[in-house]
Amino acid sequence: MESQILLESGTNELEIIEFRIDEIGYEGKVKPCYYAVNVGKVREIINLPKLTHIPDSTYAVAGIATLRSSVITIVDMAKLLGKETGDVKASKVIVMEFNNVQVGIMVHSVQRIHRISWADVEPPVNMIDDGLVTSIVKMEDRIVMLLDFEKIIADICPQTALRIPVPSNMEETKAAMRATKYVMMADDSGFIRKNMRNALTDAGYPVLEACDGQEALEILLTLKKTAESKHDAIEKHVSVVITDVEMPRMDGTHLTVRIKEDPVLKAIPVLIFSSMATDDNIRKWRDLGAERIITKPDLPNLIALVDEYAIK
C-alpha cells in the first residue's frame, strides 16, 4: 500500500488511516475511540488471521501469524492501551513496516483515509495513554489520536529499540570541539528525543530540542536574530539540525524547505531521521535540500555523522 502524499514532500501534508479501538464505558455501552497511523507506515490491511500463541510473550502480543512468506508479530492494541472491551472483538489487522520491522496491530474497525495538513495536527495537551499519543486531530465530531508506534514496538520488542552508542575513543580535542557546536533536534516522540539527546550530550554536544517543526523554526528564527545582532555566522548558534518527518503543526520536510529557502538559515546542515526512509523518499528529501537521511541502521554512527557536519 503506497501513500501518494509522499510524492509531494515539503507541502506540510500527510495521509492518515483512521481506525477504531473501542471500549466498554461505565454504563456498559460501547464507547468508540478513534486513532490513526500515517499511511506511509502501512503495508496493507487484512482480516484477523489465525494466530499462534507465543509462550512467555509480552501481555499485549496476541501471537504471530504467517503473511505470505513472512511471520509477523500481532499486537492486541486494546490490551496495550488498557481498554475494557467486553464482547467487542478486533476484526482487522493493520500491517505496518518501519525501521526495518514488520508488525500487525489488531483494531476493531478501519474507518477511512484522510488527507490533512500538519498545521491541523496538534500536540496532546496532557499525557494520554501513558505518553503513547504524539498528536491529535480534531474532526467535526471526534478527536483522532496519532500513536507513537516506535515507542510501542520498542516496549514490546526491546531488541528493536533505538540504541545509539557513544564512541569509546572520544579524544579530548574532539570533545572540546563538540562543546561549542549546538545541535537542534526536532521530534514529536519523547522516546526518540530522549535517546538522541542522551547520545548527543554524552558525546559532548549541547542540544536544543523542539517537539515539532513549528517550534524548531521559531527557535531557529530567534537564533538568526541573535546571530545577526552579534554579526555572527548562524553556525555559531546552530551547527546541525536533526529532524523527524512526522510532527504536528509542521512536518520535517516543510521545516527543511523553510530552512533552505532562508538566506541565513540555509547554511545549517539538515539531517532527516525517519522510519519511512524508502529509496524514493530519500531522493525526494534530498531534493528539498537535506544533507543526509538517517535511518535506524545509521544510528550507531549518529555521532560520527553529526561530527562530519558540525566539526568539519
- pLDDT tens digits for 103-132? 999 999 999 999 999 888 988 875 554 578
pTM of the complete model beyond 0.95: no
SS3 of residue 32 by DSSP: coil
In order of their start, the domains of the chain are 4-158 (2.40.50.180), 172-310 (3.40.50.2300)
Average pLDDT over residues 127-151: 82
Q: Is residue 85 over pLDDT 50?
A: yes
pLDDT of residue 77: 93
pLDDT of residue 5: 38
Average pLDDT over residues 218-242: 97
Sequence-distant (6+) residues with CB within 8 A of 280 are 6
Average pLDDT over residues 124-150: 81
State the Cα–Cα distance between residues 288 and 277, nearest whole angstrom: 14
Q: How many CB atoms lie within 10 A of CB 173?
A: 9
Of 41-45, 172-176, 294-298, the one with minimum mean pLDDT is: 172-176
What are the b/e assignments for 197-231, b being 16+ CB within 10 Å?
Answer: bebbeebbbebbbbbbbbbbbebbeebbeebeeee
Please give the grid coordinates belonging to residue 160: 528493536
pLDDT of residue 251: 93
State the Cα–Cα distance between residues 263 and 271, nearest whole angstrom: 18
Average pLDDT over residues 51-68: 88
